[in-house]
Amino acid sequence: MSTTAAPYGLRPVRLIGGRNFAGSTRMIKIASGYTTNIFYGDAVKLVAAGVVEKDTGTTALTPVGIFLGCSYTDATLGFVQRQYWPASQVAADAVAYVCDDPDVEIQIQADGAVAQTALGSNFALVQGSGSTVTGNSGIALDADTTATTNTLPVRLVGFVDGPNSTVGDTYTDCLVKWNAGHQYNNAEGV
């Protein structure tokens, strides 16, 4: 049972309809000196400069996808691949690896219990602190926001049911999809 709050961010697991997620990513530039940490499993968005930044929204999110690491050339270390983007890193060649498929099904831990009756509901996210030790995100599903509100960023499509997680656990592991706002489905450009 998931009785410990241990949010791990957004994890792509498959595509809607049961199709396999092959792990494909798109490399999108990160601005040199970008001042915010981006952790593995954070939602990221495209900005007008043509680069990605962490999407810090909770009830409103306009993601292009999920951050799955980055690479850049460090002045001291040379070429580096990392689980997270360290804030204010200076690197002209920095790129993020982004799962940008708008049809991805995503695993995420809720910050509370989510009941079976919430299946099909929309939810907000909680922007928790990521870890510079593991590089993992701290984003969680906000269990208290179950609603029909069509502007909330994710929709509950299933539950992780296994030895470590069941429906209604204290911190339920859920399966969600992007609801409103994915940048590739938005008719308005960046």
CA atoms of 36 and 44, how far apart (whole Å): 11
Q: How many other CB atoms sit within 10 Å of the CB of residue 37?
A: 19
Angle subtended at Cα 27 by Cα 150 and Cα 175, rounded to the nearest 5 degrees: 35
Predicted confidence (pLDDT) per residue in 125-184, tens digit: 999 999 999 999 999 999 999 999 888 999 999 999 888 888 888 899 999 999 877 888
Name the band, by pLDDT with cuts 50, 70 and 90, for residue 1: very low
Q: H-helix or E-strand containing 26?
A: strand 26-29
Q: Is the dihedral of CA 168, 171, 177, 183 positive or negative?
A: positive
Please measure the distance between the N-terminal and C-terminal CA atoms of the chain and give it in whole angstroms: 41
pTM above 0.75, yes or no: yes
72 and 93 in contact (C-beta within 8 Å)? yes
Spans of all domains in the chain: 17-99, 103-178
Strand 125-126 to 65-74 pairing: unpaired
Which residues, at least 6 apart from 21, have a Cβ–Cβ distance to it below 8 Å?
A: 12, 13, 14, 15, 99, 101, 104, 105
Predicted confidence (pLDDT) per residue in 64-114, tens digit: 999 999 999 999 999 999 999 999 999 999 999 999 999 999 999 999 999
